[in-house]
């Protein structure tokens, strides 16, 4: 009963998002597994972004999730992770990928990330996004080697797109995910988030990040063209939707003032039909 309530709450939370639309392409069993993964992501993300409590309290809550995940694989499972049990058993989801996601959230919880070096930004993207991809490809039915390559590239592409779309929101939280190397090239001497996002010099920095994201989109799409095992409709739709958002942002530019770019509903419906029918 509790697991059913969790799934229902998760579906309501995801509804209206491109994630929800992509998962609607899956058969019921796989869709429910993806909703369970999404519920876990939401739970740990909410801890990292929670303004209430200090850093230590957030870390302790994330450590509680580590113990809960351990119990899922070492039994008996804690009640808080029972909603994941069926998906873990049916699709062989790996403990290390759940823990990697928690590690990524801990990076946010410990201190506000500001102007990370490219290597640290890449690690962050791997933990908070590509780890989710590694869980997802097991549900999609891909072999691990091409599946993990897809997760590597598409996870990074999607996360970098989100970073570029959320720069103002993140700055309001005291965070700045734009890489230090590109900020230095743009002669942005400050790494104070609010000051950086208010500067017109942010535009070439964001275009540099967009260029990295495009490289990952191309690599992810290449994997999906060559390796066709599994249900690739959801990652294809996600790649098409988010790369469209990235192109729209690039067209408008990132110099202030900015608006949050969203795909028109008609475009999302077209993508849903395109990948739902043709794959």
d(CA 182, CA 262) in angstroms, rounded, equals 26
d(CA 113, CA 174) in angstroms, rounded, equals 8
Per residue of the chain (279 residues), give pLDDT as tens.
Answer: 344 444 454 454 444 467 777 888 899 999 999 999 999 999 999 999 876 678 899 999 999 999 999 999 998 999 999 999 999 999 999 999 999 999 999 999 998 899 999 999 999 999 999 999 999 999 999 999 999 999 999 999 999 999 999 999 999 999 999 999 999 999 888 899 999 999 999 999 999 999 999 999 999 999 999 998 999 999 999 999 999 999 999 999 999 999 999 888 787 777 777 776 655
Q: Where are the domains of the chain?
A: 1-111, 114-279
Buried b (16+ CB within 10 A) or exposed e, 74-94: eeebeebbbbbeebbeebebb
Tokens of 127: 């933990």
Cβ atoms within 10 Å of 172's Cβ, excluding its own: 12
Q: What is the model's pTM?
A: 0.91
Cβ atoms within 10 Å of 57's Cβ, excluding its own: 13
> Which one of 3.50.50.60, 1.10.1040.10, 3.30.70.20, 1.10.600.10 gives the CATH number of domain 114-279?
1.10.600.10
């Amino acid at each position: 009963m509790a697991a059913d309530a969790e799934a229902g709450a998760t579906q309501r939370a995801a509804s209206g998002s491109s994630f929800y639309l992509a998962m609607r392409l899956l058969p019921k069993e796989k869709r429910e597994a993806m909703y369970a993964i999404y519920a876990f992501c939401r739970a740990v993300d909410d801890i990292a972004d929670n303004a209430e409590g200090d850093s230590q309290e957030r870390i302790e809550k994330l450590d509680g999730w580590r113990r809960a995940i351990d119990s899922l694989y070492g039994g008996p499972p804690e009640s808080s992770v029972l909603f994941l049990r069926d998906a873990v058993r049916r699709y062989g989801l790996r403990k290390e990928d759940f823990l990697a996601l928690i590690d990524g959230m801990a990076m946010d919880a410990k201190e506000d990330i500001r102007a990370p070096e490219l290597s640290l930004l890449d690690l962050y993207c791997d933990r908070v996004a590509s780890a989710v991809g590694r869980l997802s490809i097991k549900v999609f039915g891909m072999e691990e080697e091409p599946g993990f390559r897809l997760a590597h590239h598409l996870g990074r592409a999607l996360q970098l797109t989100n970073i570029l779309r959320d720069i103002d929101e993140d700055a309001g939280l005291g965070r700045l995910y734009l890489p230090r190397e590109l900020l230095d090239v743009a002669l942005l001497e400050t790494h104070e988030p609010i000051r950086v996002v208010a500067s017109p010099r942010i535009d070439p920095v964001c275009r540099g990040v967009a260029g990295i994201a495009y490289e990952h989109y191309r690599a992810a799409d290449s994997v999906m063209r060559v390796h066709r095992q599994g249900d690739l409709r959801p990652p294809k739709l996600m790649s098409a939707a988010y790369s469209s958002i990235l192109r729209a942002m690039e067209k408008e530019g990132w110099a202030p003032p900015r608006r949050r770019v969203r795909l028109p509903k008609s475009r999302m419906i077209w993508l849903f039909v395109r990948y739902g029918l043709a794959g």
